[in-house]
Amino acid sequence: MEDKKMRQESQIAAVKKVFRYLGKYRIFLVFSMLLAAVTVALTLYVPKLTGKAVDYIVAEGLVSFPGVFKIMLQIGICTLITALAQWIMNVCNNKMTYQVVRDIRNEAFRKIEILPLKYIDSHPYGEVVSRVIADVDQFADGLLMGFTQLFTGVATIVGTLGFMLSVNVKITFVVVLITPVSFVVANFIAKRTFTMFKLQSETRGEQTGLIDEMIGNQKVVQAFGQENETLERFDEINGRLQDCSLKAIFFSSITNPATRFVNSLVYTGVGITGAFAVVNGSLTVGQLSCFLSYANQYTKPFNEISGVVTELQNAIACAQRIFDLIEEEPQVPETENALHLTDIKGHVDLTDVSFSYLKEQRLIEHLNLNVKPGQRIAVVGPTGCGKTTLINLLMRFYDVTGGRIEVDGTDIRDMTRQSLRAGFGMVLQETWLKTGTIRDNIIMGKPDASAEEIVEAAKASHAHSFIKRLPKGYDTWITEDGGSLSQGQKQLLCITRVMLCRPPMLILDEATSSIDTRTEVKIQNAFARLMEGRTSFIVAHRLSTIREADVILVMKDGKIIEKGNHESLLAKNGFYAELYQSQFALGTGPNASGTVPVDNSACC
């Protein structure tokens, strides 16, 4: 009972939100309602004219042709005006519906841009996409049908009753007496279809999420022979979607036969009572034909409205899902007087910093760190120790739950996120490219860069040579996954972005993990030049990078357990020394380039 009440309240809330969006386009709404009234009035006036025409045809040789022709002309004019009014009404409905849909999609996309990263991390991408695309499309279809048929249907019912009362009150009473049957049918269908359509929408989002996940990771699926398991998961979700879709369609399909049954009852009642009235002389044959026509017109909207009700139930269910996204708690807003840093020196302080993704699972606790401008800070440690989390906190993808992080003496929560992130150049192990040209991907952080600057940055990252070999060079079009580019080439493009921006601070998270050893040595030299005078945070496994750092932080269980340079940490003979010595125990000592591979299972 409680669930039913909550469901009804959520439906009412969703409808109110829809009308809030409609408020901007009330002029179209008013015009649509007025034109619906005009359409209905003229449509209902035609049967009355037809009845008069029938009464002009009394018997053979007793036909008033002038009267019939006059009525035919009136019917023709009414039909033309009705067609024009319907066309304009449909234009208004389309404009109103798709402008509302545009506003909802824009608001949903804007919300995605400001959602905290924890929401994106905890929801499948495909499910979010399904809300913004499929659910909004379903909502648009239901809304359009509602505006097109609901106003017209209600106006037809009210108008028909008015015209029937003007002809004969007693027969109208028979029609009204049978009317509640239609409302009972509509109510029965509405209660059951909403739940099914909501479940259908949620399951469709789950299916979209799985498809998106599988397409994006098809190589991994095939490499580990997970095709059958993936198909089983898809079949299971598809089976549930089939089940809830069939139930939704079943209940909504009851509409037509049920309302047709009501139509037949009304038509039968009018026919029988009307026949007796004609025999008694209280009704003419023309009036009876007019009444029968009204009986059809009166019951037809119940068919349409019942169909609209099921569509609206689906639309409201989809609207609820998109409104849930729009109303998600956004990331912590910037302070009113947030500073916009322009001349960042690179002094970073972490004071008593604590953070956890889940309240019950502690990660980083009471972390303290003082980084001077221009220092190179390397971070190493086992999986889950908090290395990547530290990067997320520095970039303010997540906010600390305790303590504070300062850049040049200012708490990062008191500065704009844009200026903070513009101060960092970040290259991650996972590459990210957007659909566009090679040039578009390189200038992402500096849109006004000249052609000479782009080429210079590409040469510094050793990407220029492979770019020139592409069909159109820097104007070669690539997709979001890089198309035919290798993983190493995609990473070189990401490095080029940073080389172009030359930010005051750097974050390198295994930035050369996908690059061959020879190219890596060259890029390390380029990074060395780039890092001169810049505060740099390096999450790395390869000791060639770590050994050159000014300070090495060894993290474990969210805490810094060792701190110092390469030589001092080896002298301590602690956890870092164990990691270092384990490489040689595996027979993977320094190679010709000075690079010492690290056991990834220990350090990542």
Structural domain includes residue 237: yes
Residues 55 and 139 in one domain: yes
Residues 316 and 360 in one domain: no
Is there a contact between 186 and 305 (Cβ–Cβ < 8 Å)?
yes
Q: What is the pLDDT of residue 600?
A: 37
pLDDT in tens, 66-98: 877 888 888 889 899 999 998 998 888 888 888
Structural domain includes residue 336: no
Q: What is the pLDDT of residue 593?
A: 37
Q: What is the CATH number of the domain that holds 393?
A: 3.40.50.300
Structural domain includes residue 437: no
Structural domain includes residue 433: no
Structural domain includes residue 121: yes
Q: What is the pLDDT of residue 513?
A: 66
Q: What is the pLDDT of residue 258?
A: 72
Is there a contact between 25 and 96 (Cβ–Cβ < 8 Å)?
yes
- Paired with 90 in beta bridges are none
Residues 376 and 321 in one domain: no
Q: What is the pLDDT of residue 7?
A: 65
Q: CA torsion angle for 391, 394, 399, 401 (degrees, to 10)?
A: 80
Residues 100 and 237 in one domain: yes
Structural domain includes residue 467: no
Residues 259 and 403 in one domain: no
Residues 205 and 247 in one domain: yes
Residues 552 and 588 in one domain: yes
Q: What is the CATH number of the domain that holds 275?
A: 1.20.1560.10
Global pTM reads 0.62
Residues 310 and 375 in one domain: no
> What would the 3-class secondary structure string for 11-61 be?
HHHHHHHHHHHHHHHHHHHHHHHHHHHHHHHHHHHHHHHHHHHHHHEEECC
Residues 136 and 172 in one domain: yes
In the chain, which residues have pLDDT < 50? 586-604
**Pairwise CA distance, residues 407 & 344, whole Å:** 8
Structural domain includes residue 471: no
The boundaries of the domain holding residue 100 are 11-326
Residues 221 and 366 in one domain: no
Q: How many residues belong to the chain?
A: 604
Q: What is the pLDDT of residue 225?
A: 77
Residues 160 and 55 in one domain: yes
Residues 271 and 384 in one domain: no
Total count of domains within the chain = 2
